[in-house]
Chain A
Amino acid sequence: MTTRDTDWDGVRLHVVTGKGGTGKTTVAAAMALALATAGHKVLLIEVEGRQGIARLFDCPPLPYEERKVAIGLGTQGTGQGGDVYALAVDPEGALLDYLEMFYNLRRAGKALTRLGVVDFATTIAPGLSDVLVTGKATEAARRRVNRRDDSHVYHAVVMDAPPTGRISRFLDVSTEVSGLAKVGPIRTHADTVARVIRSPQTAVHFVTTLEEMPVQETLDGIAELRDRTGDAIRPGGIFINMARPAMLQGADLAAAASGSLDVTELAVGLKAAGISDNHGLAADLMTELREHAQQIALQDREREELLTSGRPHYELPMIPDGIDLASLYQLAAALRQQGAA
């Protein structure tokens, strides 16, 4: 359909992780909108039961069912974007799905749920529920239209995944399960899932803000993925979220940071705008400007730090009014423009 090159051509499963509070769900949603170019269906999957996607797209809570939630970001010339579907996966639903799909055993599955098999899996063997959840995502990524038409149902699948601290364990399903099951069907299933996750079709994207802890966790997360899977699971891009733009440049910015800007100059400016410098307003604004400059300096330092990872990176602006549907499209446009989708 489109001949436009993006940084992730060939990737069918985009796993989006990030430290809590960095806007992981928002970025995953924006990525789905950006990937859904004309004629391309995209599936956005949520795995942590927060119903964050429903909230973002302003629709009722998502059931365990693929539902259309939005239309992708349009392109000039080719017009409106493709459909964006969403799905909230929980281990219980994924278990029933797995039983039905592979063994036609839905009723038995319900009995198992009543007997506490799901509790069993989440309490004693979290690796088992992870393999069911990731299994659903890889199944959607591989799904074909039908026997005669072997094109993929979804152009791409975007997963709003668990946070950075848990991501490599979550994705390293075959290792997690192999400790539990040396042979058997669940092992075979885990191996199939692992083949997709460990192929060039899957990329793990990291969302971060330009603050110390999220940046550190991002770098640790990339390193852990490498240590654990030896590059078999591919780190994708770094998505810098909520970056604040610098209001001053060069020498002015440096002067603001060191507090050596001229207050009188600011006061003269205020007066020219019709604002009187009462109770030291200019001095107070100067304090704010200094804090702003220090924050920009910190952002620059953290950005440098992120670049040491050598991963492609994308920047998304801070939306001071909070995220709504319109701002999601704005973020999607920013991603597409930077080549992320």
Chain B
Amino acid sequence: MNPVRLDMDRIIDDRRTRIIVCCGSGGVGKTTAAAAIGLRAAERGRQACVLTVDPARRLAQSMGLTSLDNTPRRVDGVETANGGSLYAMMLDMKRTFDEIVEAHADPDRATQILANPFYQSLSSSFAMEKLGQLRHADEWDLIVVDTPPSRSALDFLDAPQRLGRFLDGRLIRLLTGPAKAGMSYMKVLNAGFAMMTSALTKILGTQVLKDAQTFVTALDTMFGGFRERAEGTYQLLQAPGTAFLVVAAPEPDALREASYFVERLDAERMPLAGLILNRVHTSPAGRLSAARSMAAAETLEMHDRPNEPGVAAPRYAIATAALRMHADRMQLSKRERRLAEHFTSAHPAIPVAEVVAQPEDVHDLAGLRVIGTILSRQGS
């Protein structure tokens, strides 16, 4: 079954597209894809900003990013004939959060929060907050974001919900004091309450419990606002101006994760634009099958084997090597094709763009440009 081809240029040329989110499991080339799309969009006239989390050092350097400072930096060397520009930013999670705290709490409370040990170990799932900020700043008309390399690639979708569940949870009400929990509620809970606090104290110890209490009380007012904004960003992601791209490599784990992602985005009613299948192996000599190539290599080896006195080197060494190597490559390509078809038959309506494996990693704008071009010339 042939998948629908992804039309990348249509997506980036459509001025209504304001956010592109690249997601997928770790090590599939998400950041490279996001950077390549941002560059292509800029060179086609968009004011683009690439938001990335902890990119590989060399890729960051290729875009002129040397420091991790939470401010979008202009990328030099971008073709600006069409009136576009490219900015890029590495996201520092902790700093993002510091900024939120400083912006939304009064100075005393901010100091208290920032000094709390719990704050120091805050989780890193707040990329969405920064995305919301950039989108509202309206300085760029296209933001390309690659999702953080997390335990599960879906963490960023869950972050507002998890935070909400935590803040609305009974635990938080217990921690913030029985007064808030309400009398009837306390009655229900009373039986298990002593046991529960005793267990909590056993795991955490009284000091930790006290710190947690202070922390939660301090954040209580501020977090409300934070959660509202996280939900706002979440809704922004469901809006028509957003395009999700799932990135995968043609390997079972990456594609399984991609499938899961596709279903999850669908369930959350997030607008999925398509799948980028990265690092696909192809062959310019695809008309010679793996089986025939292998058979030919064996034939040549048999030719070479008989002892001919005076013949030092096998005559067909190069041809044999070429045929064996080609057979391996065709076998790999066939396997990748099957895996891709497996995905396509499960998700027939999802447009796919394939990017052939590059001989070397991308580490400059020229390399990103090549990827952008490949992404935009699908099966035409």
Contact = CB atoms under 8 A, between A and B. Distances in A.
A320 B211 CA distance: 54
Interface string A255-267: 0000001100110
Interface stretch (B13-21, B158-166, B266-274, B345-353): B158-166
A185 B205 contact: yes
B326 A20 contact: no
A100 to B, nearest CB: 11
B297 interface: yes
Nearest to B205: A184
A245 to B, nearest CB: 9
Interface residues of B, number: 79
Interface string B301-322: 0010000000000011111111
Interface string A187-226: 1000000000000000000000001111011000000000
Contact of B329 (A124, A261, A288): A288
A301 to B, nearest CB: 10
A289 B321 contact: yes
A274 B299 contact: yes
B288 A183 contact: no
A275 B296 contact: yes
A122 interface: yes
A124 B332 CA distance: 44
A257 to B, nearest CB: 11
Contacts of B169: 115-116, 119-120
A182 interface: yes
A187 B297 CA distance: 64
B166 A108 contact: no
Nearest to A261: B318
A186 B360 contact: no
Contacts of A268: 319
B208 A180 contact: yes
A218 B198 CA distance: 43
A187 B170 CA distance: 25
Contacts, number: 222
B67 interface: no
Contacts of B98: none
A216 B57 contact: yes
A42 to B, nearest CB: 23
A170 to B, nearest CB: 10
B270 to A, nearest CB: 22
Nearest to A48: B151
B360 A298 contact: yes
A247 B325 contact: yes
A270 interface: yes
B278 to A, nearest CB: 10
Contacts of B170: 115-116
Interface in B346-380: 359-361, 363
Nearest to B32: A213
Interface of A is mostly: helix
A212 B58 contact: yes
Contact of A186 (B152, B192, B208, B361): B208
Nearest to B206: A184
Interface stretch (A4-12, A64-72, A150-158, A279-287): A279-287
A211 B206 CA distance: 49
A96 B261 CA distance: 30
B320 A180 contact: no
Contacts of B56: 213, 216-217
B321 A252 contact: yes
Given A120-B169, A269-B316, 18 more contacts: A111-B192, A111-B199, A115-B171, A120-B212, A122-B162, A125-B118, A176-B121, A185-B203, A186-B203, A213-B56, A248-B317, A265-B318, A273-B297, A273-B300, A288-B285, A288-B325, A294-B360, A321-B335
Interface of A: 19-22, 48-50, 52, 95, 98-99, 103, 105, 107-109, 111-112, 115-117, 119-120, 122-127, 162-163, 165, 176, 179-187, 211-214, 216-217, 247-248, 252, 261-262, 265-266, 268-270, 272-275, 279, 281, 284-289, 291-292, 294-295, 298, 320-322
30 contacts: A19-B26, A21-B25, A21-B26, A49-B151, A105-B199, A108-B195, A111-B199, A112-B196, A117-B200, A120-B169, A123-B163, A123-B166, A124-B121, A124-B122, A181-B207, A186-B205, A212-B58, A212-B363, A213-B56, A217-B56, A247-B325, A248-B317, A266-B319, A273-B300, A273-B319, A281-B288, A284-B285, A285-B288, A320-B328, A322-B252
